[in-house]
Amino acid sequence: MSLHPVLERVTRRIAERSHATRADYLARMDAARESTPARARLGCGNLAHGFAAAGEDKPRLRGGRGGNIGIVTAYNDMLSAHQPYEPYPSLIRMAARNAGGSAQVAGGVPAMCDGVTQGRTGMELSLFSRDTIALATAVSLSHDMFDAVLCLGICDKIVPGLLIGALSFGHLPVIFVPGGPMPSGLPNKEKAAVRQRYAEGKATREELLEAESASYHSPGTCTFYGTANSNQMLMEVMGLHMPGSAFVNPHTPLRDALTVAATEQALRITALGEDGVSDNYRPLARTIDEKAIANAMVGLAATGGSTNHALHLVAMARAAGLIIDWDDLDELSRVTPLLARVYPNGSADVNHFHAAGGMGFVIRELLDAGLMHGDLRCVHGGDLRQQMLEPFLDGTQLRWRDPPPQSRDATVVRLAAEPFDSEGGLRRLQGNLGRAIAKISAVAPEFRIITAPAKVFDTQDALLDAFKHGQLDGDFVAVIRGQGPRANGMPELHKLTPPLAVLQDRGQRIALLTDGRMSGASGKVLAAIHVSPEAADAGAIARIRDGDMLRIDAEAGTMDALVDAAEWNARAPELASLQGNRAGLGRELFALMRTQVGTAEQGACSLFVAEAP
């Protein structure tokens, strides 16, 4: 199957736009490549420090030629998705020894849980934790002891942060090792219904806690298709997982076998080889190219993935010297069929998705439709055709097989010829209010266009108070501003989902317009998010006044204030004081990031600052 012309055009445009930055990046990575073990270049004192606590691996690290794997781990036992990583270093060390190499935990990175901080002050550190993780990854690998890397991370900012950091060491092969989703608990739709009843005062706190506890109930990622599970999809379509690793449950023999296989493969694809030559060498810098990034955008659209990746993908690409924007995402989404219905875009969870055919099924359908690049240099040693294979245990032997020819559940995943929708539903909006992102895959067609007066709020709590006091009557567009990266770190506003859903269910026509985020769990209410420029940059969102008529048309991709042009241009931006967002729960430590951060469309990233020559 030949490539779809839009995929071909967008990929070519990315390559042309990125010519200078990509060439500079690749030159730096090629210059860093060495064909002898990295530790051999250290001075004796440096090396002695590096293996002093290595136990039985000390002789190999001291004199052998075997590769040494650096493990960068996001383990903690508060975050359910990362608790399963506790035994991984021991398993990886054993597997590395058996394969003639060694492995060391190079460092740990923070892993905060947006589920815990949702609607709380700590959420103002969430997005910046991605950049912090990237920095911590770089520090972990800066000892220059390693010939390959295994990244242990799953959730929202952790995987993007690990990849951004690892790309600075793109001369090394890097494999991402997931932990898998928790088994299915209370169906997400039932949990959402209890949340809505609680928002209306029709359910008690104890009833809500019981529902939440039945949904988030054991080790593993949350089972809805938010940012964490979208991360796992991205690692598959960019070729950074062992095939089919994404959604295998924790603490199972298959999960352990995949971790062992990742360890063995990491040693197999280093630059080390006879006479300094290795035909298997798969450096990260060559795996993540414009084709991999285009695949990621297509995968996001085809599965109804998280809007957070409208930020993260831009930042990840930039770390590889590639420049993308929301036009690229919009153009690809409009020609990509929606192949999956996973909550919040359906009733199924990721375990149901995996059982119905999962990532292998989706990758095959997109490849056959010409909507993915197959010729990636995937970490498993093959191309994307091999990435679609699904793993299984034949006794104790790990093997791979073709994905099912037909969906095992057509209510969850479908053939490209019979999609749920003809497009993926991620839209770029633009108009006199700036540019924004909208996810419409879960929004009914009759709610995708709205013309209504603005109700302006400076915090999400102000809107929640108005809801509690019955002040949100009639049709309206809720404007929440001062929530961008420069203002307060761009927190998610997912706490608004239940009350807004209640109002829509009552028959009101409503939408949300914000320079903040709405997360991978955004659902059935139309939301124009990531508005850029943000209010703190004197963006047009700061000119909106209560009662202004606003029109958001997600079908046409427009968003405008229907205000006389002369009056609109004469208005001065208004923004409430941000002093209350400057300190407390560590926020005072992140002033540098708030000051240096780029716009939402630039990935809301604080890391890519040009230094004076």
CB neighbours (10 Å) of residue 12? 12
Please state, in angstroms and rounded to a whole number, the distance separating the CA atoms of residues 160 and 230: 11
What residues are paired with 104 via a beta bridge?
70
What residues are paired with 392 via a beta bridge?
399
Q: Residues 6 or more apart from 343 whose CB is under 8 A from it?
A: 188, 189, 223, 224, 225, 349
Instruction: Dump the DSSP string for 350-371.
Output: HHHHHHHTHHHHHHHHHHHTT-
Q: Over 305-342, what HEC string results?
A: CCCCHHHHHHHHHHHCCCCCCHHHHHHHHCCCCECECE
Amino acid at 323: I
Q: Residues 6 or more apart from 248 whose CB is under 8 A from it?
A: 178, 180, 254, 255, 258, 354, 391
Contact 29, 285 (CB under 8 A): yes
What residues are paired with 512 via a beta bridge?
478, 527
Both structure tokens of 595: 């000051």
Contact 376, 292 (CB under 8 A): yes
Please state, in angstroms and rounded to a whole number, the distance separating the CA atoms of residues 444 and 428: 18
Please state, in angstroms and rounded to a whole number, the distance separating the CA atoms of residues 479 and 528: 10
Please state, in angstroms and rounded to a whole number, the distance separating the CA atoms of residues 435 and 557: 10
Please state, in angstroms and rounded to a whole number, the distance separating the CA atoms of residues 101 and 97: 5
Contact 552, 88 (CB under 8 A): no
How far is the first Cα of the chain from the last one, in angstroms, to the nearest whole number? 47
Both structure tokens of 604: 């809301």
Is 155 annotated as contributing to ligand binding? yes
Contact 11, 4 (CB under 8 A): no
Q: Residues 6 or more apart from 73 whose CB is under 8 A from it?
A: 85, 88, 89, 105, 107, 108, 109, 152, 153
Bin 519: left if φ > 0, else alpha if -120 < ψ < 50, else beta.
left
Amino acid at 152: L
CB neighbours (10 Å) of residue 77? 11
Question: Which ranges of 369-411 does DSSP label H, i.e. alpha helix?
Answer: 384-387
Contact 357, 413 (CB under 8 A): yes
Amino acid at 313: L
**To which residue do tokens 């998610």 refer?**
492
* Binding annotation: 155, 222
* Binding annotation for [4Fe-4S] cluster: 155, 222
